[in-house]
Amino acid sequence: MTSPGMTDDLPHEECGVFGVYAPGEAVSKLTYYGLFALQHRGQESAGIAVSNGKRIMVFKDMGLVSQVFDEATLSSLTGHLAIGHDRYSTTGASVWQNAQPTFRQIGGGGLALAHNGNLTNTDEIEELLAAAEQEDVPHKDKMDSSNDTALITALMASYPDGEPIEQIALDVLPKLAGAFCLVFMTETALYAARDRNGVRPLVLGRLENGWVVASETAALDIVGATFVREVEPGEFITIDSAGLRSRRFAETDRKGCLFEYVYLARPDTKIAGRPVQPTRVQIGRQLAIEYPVEADLVIPVPESGTPAALGYARESGIPFGMGLVKNSYVGRTFIQPSQTIRQLGIRLKLNPLREVIAGKRLVVVDDSIVRGNTQRALIRMLREAGAREVHVRISSPPVEWPCFYGIDFATRAELIAPGLSTEEIAQAIEADSLGYVSLAGLHMSVGLDASQLCSACFDGKYPIHIPHGAAAALGIDQENA
């Protein structure tokens, strides 16, 4: 992710969630490491809520996990169950008030909640809350944040005292539309839920004396948990002293995010049983079949382009090489770059290896093109370093539509692909040639039926209704879809 003030031309990740119920374990530290493993999903803020059975303690702040938490803080967060959150904002501003987990009083105790995804019916949720306020239901204290997570928490807290939390959840969850993976907790129990379409990943793992839920299997690996299964779309899970219980709040209609396989998920993660790394290699092979070119070297844009570049090199027979060095420490920064540094743009993140690329015809493999600014700057940098030709290959189809399910793409007006041919985009980014993997080729590489995947950002076919105002602005007729 680029820093504030830099050329910001990436699809931003949404969020990462983590929950653990493990009596006798240092659950705050397990959550810290789980969030660390999910840091790629959000770098704006991080938070952990922990319960010792009597009270919930929440600590959250702006910044990376390693910036927010230290040994002293984690040692003070004692208990036997915890939830955590890495945030990138898709709704609500990037401010402390919107950091998660959220917390509300509910009944005689507390409720902490963390959310990955994006609701598409926030207007309806606000109407439900307004109706509850008119009925003078307790616990309607003013919300101090502006995101859809706060709406979910407030709606759950709007029920009368004494209502069992499981019953509240089973009543609230069917009212939520869009993409959501939730982990939430009371003083004594951990809960998890996934929307009926399973847009975002959520998995269940087993510790020797407890359970873990997380956005990706990589987080289970980091904390030593054994993968058990996915949390099923439309499933609601309770974990407490009596063990694990599962109930359905909606029938499954799987529409997993296709872009998770291209870019969002860690390469060492599995989604719907598909390991991401070999899937991305296969996408690169498919890209080489669809868009071959005579060249001397295949180089990735690290690191998200690396697996597909390996696949392209293997299929084409063109040697693979690392022609770009990435500065791994360029992440979120609170220091605004000067005008001089801002003009350097992509050089803060990537630097060419001149001795590798000089005089070469290059195939440069990247995961996506959003606005095109980054690719244009990168191609100019490679030519300055001596590249003879630069052929760009992209391991996803053209991004032509915004996402309403948890990825912060540019608006459609800001995207480079709508209205332009591939040749025109190649001219705009100053590439010698450009090739995107086809949507059919991407589906084939992933190995799941297209009916089980959401590809709305590529084809404009939204499987879940989006807000009516947004649909009208985009010219989408949802009533006849």
In percent, the amount of the chain with pLDDT more than 70 equals 88
Residue 267 located in a structural domain = no
Span 34-56, pLDDT tens digits = 999 999 998 889 999 999 999 99
Residue 101 located in a structural domain = yes
Handedness of CA 211, 216, 222, 225 (dihedral sign): positive
> What CATH number should be reported for the domain holding residue 459?
3.40.50.2020
Pick the more confident residue, 343 or 47: 47
Span 188-229, pLDDT tens digits = 999 999 999 999 999 999 999 999 999 999 999 999 999 999
> Do 245 and 316 have their domain in common?
no
> Do 230 and 360 have their domain in common?
no
> Do 324 and 230 have their domain in common?
no
pLDDT at position 147, please? 72
> Do 161 and 239 have their domain in common?
yes
Number of domains in the chain: 2
Domain boundary among 233, 257, 281: 257
Out of 6, 15, 362, 381, which one is annotated catalytic?
15
The number of beta carbons lying within 10 Å of the beta carbon of residue 397 is 21
Determine the Cα–Cα distance for residues 363 and 296; give it in Å rounded to an integer: 8
Concerning whether 181 is annotated as a catalytic residue, the answer is: no
> Do 418 and 374 have their domain in common?
yes
Domain boundary among 218, 233, 257: 257
> What CATH number should be reported for the domain holding residue 53?
3.60.20.10
> Do 218 and 354 have their domain in common?
no
Q: Which contiguous run of DSSP H or E holds residue 125? A: helix 122-134
Determine the Cα–Cα distance for residues 319 and 110; give it in Å rounded to an integer: 58
pLDDT at position 433, please? 98
Report, as an integer, the average pLDDT of 232-251: 98
Q: How confident is the model at residue 339 (pLDDT cuts 50, 70, 90)?
A: low
> Do 360 and 411 have their domain in common?
yes
Span 365-385, pLDDT tens digits = 999 999 999 899 999 999 999
> Do 83 and 213 have their domain in common?
yes
Out of 194-203, 284-293, 395-404, 462-471, pick the least confident.
Answer: 462-471
> Do 190 and 292 have their domain in common?
no
Structure tokens at 469: 């105002």
- Chain centre to alpha carbon of residue 364: 25
Mean pLDDT of the chain, nearest integer: 89
- Residue 344's Cβ-count burial label (10 Å; 0-12, 13-18, 19+) is middle
Pick the more confident residue, 70 or 135: 70
Span 396-440, pLDDT tens digits = 999 999 999 988 776 888 899 999 999 999 999 999 999 999 999
Residue 134 located in a structural domain = yes
Q: Which range marks the domain in which residue 186 is found?
A: 15-257
Determine the Cα–Cα distance for residues 90 and 77; give it in Å rounded to an integer: 28
pLDDT at position 6, please? 32
pLDDT at position 92, please? 45
For residues 457-471, one letter each, b for 16 or more C-beta atoms within 10 angstroms of the residue's C-beta and e for the rest, the string is bbeeebbbbbbeeeb
- Alpha-carbon separation of residue 29 from 44, 49, 69, 188, 222 (angstroms): 20, 12, 10, 19, 11
pLDDT at position 331, please? 53
Report the predicted TM-score, pTM, of the whole model to 2 decimal places. Answer: 0.89
> Do 56 and 99 have their domain in common?
yes
Q: How confident is the model at residue 232 (pLDDT cuts 50, 70, 90)?
A: very high
Determine the Cα–Cα distance for residues 164 and 180; give it in Å rounded to an integer: 22
pLDDT at position 337, please? 53
> Do 244 and 292 have their domain in common?
no
pLDDT at position 103, please? 93
Residue 2 located in a structural domain = no
Determine the Cα–Cα distance for residues 307 and 356; give it in Å rounded to an integer: 19
pLDDT at position 80, please? 97
Residue 66 located in a structural domain = yes
Binding site: what residues are annotated? 257, 304, 366-367, 403, 454, 457
Contact 5, 348 (CB under 8 A): no
Span 134-192, pLDDT tens digits = 655 444 444 444 478 889 999 999 998 889 999 999 999 999 999 999 999 999 999 99
In 120-173, where do the E strands start and end? Answer: none
> Do 313 and 169 have their domain in common?
no
pLDDT at position 475, please? 79
Report, as an integer, the average pLDDT of 107-133: 90
pLDDT at position 145, please? 42
Question: Listing from the earlier edge strand, what are the strands of the sheet with 361-366?
Answer: 297-300, 361-366, 389-394, 433-436
Residue 480 located in a structural domain = no
Report, as an integer, the average pLDDT of 236-251: 97
Question: Is 463 a residue whose pLDDT tops 80?
Answer: yes
